[in-house]
Amino acid sequence: MFVSSTPWLGVIVLALAPVSAHAALPADPLGSPMWQRLGTTLFGSDPVRFDDRVRVDFPEIAEDQSSFPVTVDARGIKGVKRILLFADLNPIPLAIDYAPQGARAFLGTRIKLDQRTPVRGAVQLEDGSWLVSGGWVDAAGGGCSAPPASRVKGDWAEHLGQVRGIAVRERDGTHIRLAFRHPMDTGFVTNIPTYNLDTVALSGAGSKSYGTMRIEASVAEDPTISVIADTAAGEAIVLRGSDTNGIRYDGSLAVHDAAPALAAVG
């Protein structure tokens, strides 16, 4: 009985929270040493609450600390206008700042991990308040400060500007996945300054926006982006992107219906 009363408490807090102007940050359930400082930087004086409906999913193991998959799924929450993905103890904590439009509250990518760290998603509602969730990830060190593979190999410039993409219409919306070739230099490798894919915007027929995002160098080399948009069948999606040297990453892709043959293989 005691347990079942907690959701009601949540509703009361939810109803009251937007009223307070300079809300103090709530205590961090993950006990992160950076929470207060980072929370102030990212959320300013906006009200913040922890909410498990913001689903932050990642694998059991950080197999590769330079490329760790994460999804932030807040589709169970109405009125999400912005999604942040960040890792408290990364030297560049923020990975992506995404403003979904005509799209579901969902974001997937691969990030770097410089050490064991909380990995979190935060979503902002129409009233300006933030809902936050996440978990600790154990990782070997150096994901942000080791040279990218394409720098070691020396072929990064040959592939710069290449973008691959797929858009498949499923029952819950059109799953759009983009894969860029980019070294995503963090600036922590000797004599290689910060250089990263910076902005990505998607739009559809009649310039209808499907959202924009700002991307930091803490996103993994050769970044991938997954979003779910409410497109029409057969609609052409336009990608407009740029990096911190002003190089453009423009392209277009057609929305396909889910191929039954492929689905059957799985």
Partner 1 sequence: MINRRIALAGLLGAIALPVRAQPLAYRITPEKIAEGLWVVRGVDAPIAMANGGAIANITILATEAGTVLVDCGPSLRYGNALRHAAEALTGKPVVRLYLTHLHPDHIYAAAAFAPGIVAATPQLATLLKSEGAGFSDGMYRLLGDWMRGTEFTLPGTILAADHETFGTRRLRLLPLAGHSPADLAILDEASGTLIAGDLVFHDRAPSTPHADLAKWHTALKTLAALGHKCVVPGHGPIDPTPTAAIDQTRDWLDWVTATLRAAVAAGEDNVAAGNVAIPARFATLQSARYELQRSVSHFYPGLEAELMPRIDAKR
**How far, in Å, CA of 226 to CA of 109, rounded?**
6
Residue 26 Cβ, how far from partner 1 at the closest point, in Å? 17
Q: Which of 92, 131, 137, 219 binds partner 1 (CB under 8 A)?
A: 137
Question: Please, which residue, 94 or 220, has the CB nearer to partner 1?
Answer: 220
Q: Give the count of beta carbons closer than 10 Å to the beta carbon of residue 220.
A: 24
Q: Which of 14, 18, 64, 102 binds partner 1 (CB under 8 A)?
A: 64
Residue 116 Cβ, how far from partner 1 at the closest point, in Å? 7
Q: Which of 38, 42, 56, 105 binds partner 1 (CB under 8 A)?
A: 56
If one asks whether residue 135 binds partner 1 (CB under 8 A), the answer comes out as yes
**How far, in Å, CA of 66 to CA of 68, rounded?**
7
If one asks whether residue 165 binds partner 1 (CB under 8 A), the answer comes out as yes
Residues 6+ apart with CB under 8 A from 187: 193, 194, 195, 217
Residues 6+ apart with CB under 8 A from 264: none
Question: Please, which residue, 52 or 126, has the CB nearer to partner 1?
Answer: 52
Q: Is 34 exposed, middle or buried, given 0-12, 13-18 or 19+ CB atoms closer than 10 A?
A: middle
**How far, in Å, CA of 178 to CA of 202, rounded?**
11
- Binding site residues, partner 1, CB under 8 A: 30, 56-61, 63-64, 67, 69-71, 108-110, 116, 134-138, 140, 161-168, 175-179, 222, 224, 226, 239, 248-253, 258-259, 262-263, 265-266
